């Protein structure tokens, strides 16, 4: 069986999750890969509709549908309007989820299973098949499951629910982008110096780490930051591959991160 036929066969395998549509949505507070906290009921009490994307990083159907989900996220306002998209990962680390988000161009908040609290949410919602997309409204009830998660299905179901498309607002997107660390050049060879920019941190001591995609820290240092527009980093003794570079305040309240590729 060739790959395309195998992929098609995998996409036809029925999920084992029993739908929770009509049931109360358990509340949760989680932390996304950029250190921002999200509480479900706070969004719902503000009148938002929340879409939960349950997935894991090596899930082939999740990867297959991700471009469609991105289109739906953009079509309904990029989390700037009345719909909030949130990715709930199962069993992966922040580093693995960040690599997944970069590969599949995911822009909505992602919560890793191991580091961000995603595993607990998956358990609370009884999810055992992936991907699963639940829609929750201000009644705190799961009102819809989007299956399959294509833009056409999102549009059809949202139209039935009276949810209108919306434009993305630049200001909110720029605010979200502040957590992204810019790395140049990228990729590089191990031992070459890169510049880290797009920093909005208070002066003082910062933690600078390089981790592999399992979350294992390979290089770490504490630096004195005096408001420079860029910081130099020389990754050393790293094999070719993808790594997570993160700069954060020592209290971890604000952090910047991105994927660094080593030739």
Question: Which of these three, 111, 140, 174, is where a domain ends?
Answer: 174
- pLDDT band for position 104 (cuts 50, 70, 90): confident
Per-residue pLDDT tens over the stretch 189-245: 999 999 998 777 788 899 899 988 667 889 999 999 998 889 999 999 999 888 888
Task: Say which CATH number the domain at 246 has.
Answer: 2.60.40.3580
The answer to whether residues 79 and 182 belong to one domain is no
What pLDDT does 28 receive? 98
Domain, as residue range, for 107: 10-174
The answer to whether residues 152 and 185 belong to one domain is no
- Mean pLDDT on 130-141: 97
Per-residue pLDDT tens over the stretch 118-134: 999 999 999 999 999 99
C-alpha–C-alpha distance, residues 175 and 194, integer Å: 24
What pLDDT does 252 receive? 52
The answer to whether residues 155 and 212 belong to one domain is no
Per-residue pLDDT tens over the stretch 9-28: 444 444 555 778 999 999 99
Task: Say which CATH number the domain at 23 has.
Answer: 3.40.30.10
> 193: which 2 tokens?
């110096």
Question: Which of these three, 174, 189, 218, is where a domain ends?
Answer: 174
Quick one: 26 exposed, middle or buried, by C-beta within 10 A (0-12, 13-18, 19+)?
Answer: middle
The answer to whether residues 93 and 124 belong to one domain is yes
The answer to whether residues 89 and 183 belong to one domain is no
> 233: which 2 tokens?
């980093």
The answer to whether residues 103 and 217 belong to one domain is no
Number of structural domains the chain divides into: 2
Quick one: 15 exposed, middle or buried, by C-beta within 10 A (0-12, 13-18, 19+)?
Answer: middle
């Amino acid at each position: 069986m060739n790959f395309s036929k195998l992929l098609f066969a995998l996409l036809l395998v029925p999920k084992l999750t029993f739908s929770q549509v009509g049931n109360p949505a358990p509340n949760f507070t989680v932390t996304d890969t950029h250190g921002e906290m999200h509480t479900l009921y706070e969004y719902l009490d503000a009148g938002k509709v929340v879409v939960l994307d349950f997935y894991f990083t090596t899930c082939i159907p999740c990867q297959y549908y991700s471009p469609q989900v991105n289109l739906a996220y953009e079509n309904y306002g990029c989390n700037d309007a009345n719909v909030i998209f949130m990715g709930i990962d199962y069993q992966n680390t922040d580093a693995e989820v960040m690599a997944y988000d970069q590969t599949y161009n995911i822009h909505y908040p992602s919560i890793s299973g191991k580091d961000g609290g995603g595993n607990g949410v998956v358990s609370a919602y009884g999810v055992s098949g992936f991907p699963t997309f639940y829609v929750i409204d201000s009644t705190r009830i799961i009102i819809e499951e989007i299956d399959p998660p294509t833009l056409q299905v999102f549009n059809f179901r949202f139209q039935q629910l009276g949810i209108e498309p919306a434009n993305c607002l630049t200001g909110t997107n720029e605010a979200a982008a502040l957590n992204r660390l810019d790395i140049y050049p990228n990729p590089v060879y191990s031992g070459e110096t890169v510049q880290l920019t797009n920093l909005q941190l208070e002066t003082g001591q910062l933690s600078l780490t390089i981790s592999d995609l399992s979350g294992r820290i390979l290089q770490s240092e504490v630096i004195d930051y005096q408001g420079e527009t860029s910081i130099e980093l020389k990754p050393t003794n790293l094999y070719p591959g993808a790594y997570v570079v993160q700069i954060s305040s020592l209290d971890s309240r604000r952090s910047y991160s991105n994927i660094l590729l080593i030739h």
